[in-house]
Amino acid sequence: MTDYYEILGVPRDASPEAIKKAYRKLAREHHPDVAGADVASEERFKDVSRAYDVLGNPEKRRAYDLGADPSSPGGGMGGGFGFQDIFETFFGAGAQAQRGPIPRARRGQDALVRLDIDLAEATFGAHRDVQVDTAVVCPTCQGTCCRPGTQPRTCEVCGGRGSVQRVARSFLGQVMTTQPCAACHGFGTVIPEPCAECAGEGRVRSRRTLSVDVPAGVDTGTRIKLTAQGEVGPAGGPAGDVYLEVRERKHEVFVRQGDDLHATLPVPMTAAALGTVLTLDTLDGPREVDLRPGTQPAQVVTLKGLGVGHLHHGGRGDLHVHVEVLVPSTLDDEQAELLRRLATLRGEERPEARLSAANAGVFSKLRDKLSGR
């Protein structure tokens, strides 16, 4: 393993200040601007920088002292100063110029729009038109940013490169740095006569109507992506995307749980005891429910395939009808006498008080009541 302490010429218990001082001295000594175009000096400069990359960073130094070598090409230099950064500072001016100016046209931002739907639309799917305020290509300049009949002009300051070079002084001496051109903001061109309608942006604000097919099975929080339907970027750049975030309105009758629907059916005590056939209004229209004689409170009748459509694999959930047996709170004399006669016939004049284990439904209802749900 490379001995970085030896490269910097410091003992293994050297303080951070001593390591930094040794690095500065060696870097200044072997820097190409000082030592000249010497291959050996350039390699020595790289070794010194790599050593400081490890020893100048407390975490990397601890790992190195334990036997690991965290050094890697382009790795971070201690104190947030990267080996790649320092190397580009000394040698990267030409590379920056070769990259050329930045493009004026850029991708537009994505947009998030809320889409409110009702339960029927979530169940069967729907076609909706959604209005969004967004940016579109300027109809006057067609995204060129220039007044019609004119065109961008090469920047006279940077000569179209998008960047300028300057000499700066540092602890290593004079170095050449590259910065974005302040005159053209790095674009390499300037707009001598901006379009009056878009003020040289190449885009304007407008309200658009988007058509979207809402698939069956969407739920609150589902996002529908409309590719390239978002705002157009500067200078007529590619459009971003629109995300429609679904919010399902609360239904007055049905409660949704996943792809299943739940509803409560109040039934008179006599109908529950004798049995009956009732017609329910479902999302699919009228459907008959056959209640068997002796239907108990909280009994559930399931209607297959009358729930919400499955979002990913087709088919539909079920509709669960929870029976609520209604016990009369007031009776006239004749009704009371009939019930007393029924109780006598069934031997229930004085029913035996016997507790039994409560089912989960009782506990859940009690919990909901105590929590105020």
Helix or strand holding residue 126 (H, E):
strand 126-137
145 is in an annotated binding site: no
Give residue 349's Cα distance to chain centre: 65
Rounded Cα–Cα distance for residues 54 and 70 (Å): 7
Using an 8 Å Cβ cutoff, are 306 and 283 in contact? yes
Stated length of the chain: 373
Which sign does the torsion angle of CA 90, 94, 99, 102 carry?
positive
Give residue 177's Cα distance to chain centre: 38
Give residue 237's Cα distance to chain centre: 23
If DSSP codes are grouped into helix, strand and coil, which group holds residue 178?
strand
Residue 172's nearest CA partner among 17, 314, 32, 351 is: 32
146 is in an annotated binding site: no
Distance of CA 92 to CAs 29, 95, 177, Å? 20, 5, 8
Rounded Cα–Cα distance for residues 300 and 318 (Å): 12
181 is in an annotated binding site: yes
Quote the radius of gyration of the chain (alpha carbons, Å): 39
Report DSSP state, residue 367.
Answer: H
If DSSP codes are grouped into helix, strand and coil, which group holds residue 4?
helix
Using an 8 Å Cβ cutoff, are 320 and 302 in contact? yes
**Which residue intervals of 211-353 are DSSP H helices?**
269-274, 333-345
Rounded Cα–Cα distance for residues 136 and 242 (Å): 13
Residue 323's nearest CA partner among 358, 294, 297 is: 297
Report DSSP state, residue 313.
Answer: T
> For tokens 């002292």, what's the residue?
65
Distance of CA 37 to CAs 52, 59, 83, 89, 93, Å? 22, 34, 20, 16, 16
Binding positions for Zn(2+) are: 138, 141, 155, 158, 181, 184, 195, 198
Residues tagged in the binding site annotation? 138, 141, 155, 158, 181, 184, 195, 198
